[in-house]
């Protein structure tokens, strides 16, 4: 096979078996991305824990299905990004909860303890 200067030779792919399925995008991968994005955006408001947790569970199922499909399900990049966003959302939830606990403890320490009586009361 001769090629023009500057061109790379074309590698021929072996023909696919007629019964092989066509590669298809995994719908769960996009759902994981969407839920992870929602979890990351609402993470500081503590509402992100639910979509982030659902995204991680769905990502687990999507990975199992992709492995079982033998490479005919696509969408691994969407899945990775969704998992990263879900973990980011969970970290933001943890930061928000720790911050609220610290603020609550400081306010509790500033509050007077017990009954505050006048100085002339025994």
Query: pLDDT tens digits, residue range 18-73?
Result: 777 788 888 999 999 999 999 999 999 988 999 999 999 999 999 999 888 888 88
What pLDDT does 79 receive? 95
Question: CA 68 to CA 76: how far, in whole Å?
Answer: 14
DSSP assignment letter at 71: S
Give the CA radius of gyration of the chain. 27
Q: What's the burial of 50, exposed, middle or buried (CB within 10 Å: 0-12/13-18/19+)?
A: middle
HSE-CB of 38 using CA atoms within 13 angstroms: 15
What pLDDT does 6 receive? 66
């Amino acid at each position: 096979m001769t090629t023009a200067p500057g061109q790379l030779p074309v590698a021929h792919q072996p023909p696919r078996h007629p019964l092989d399925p066509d590669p298809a995008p995994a719908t769960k991968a996009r759902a994981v991305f969407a839920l992870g994005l929602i979890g990351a955006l609402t993470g500081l408001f503590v509402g992100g824990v639910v979509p982030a947790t659902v995204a991680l569970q769905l990502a687990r199922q999507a990975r199992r299905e992709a492995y079982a499909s033998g490479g005919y399900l696509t969408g691994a990049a969407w899945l990775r990004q969704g998992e990263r966003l879900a973990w980011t959302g969970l970290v933001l939830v943890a930061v928000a909860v720790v911050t609220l606990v610290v603020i609550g403890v400081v306010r509790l320490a500033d509050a007077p303890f017990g009954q505050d009586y006048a100085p002339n009361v025994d």
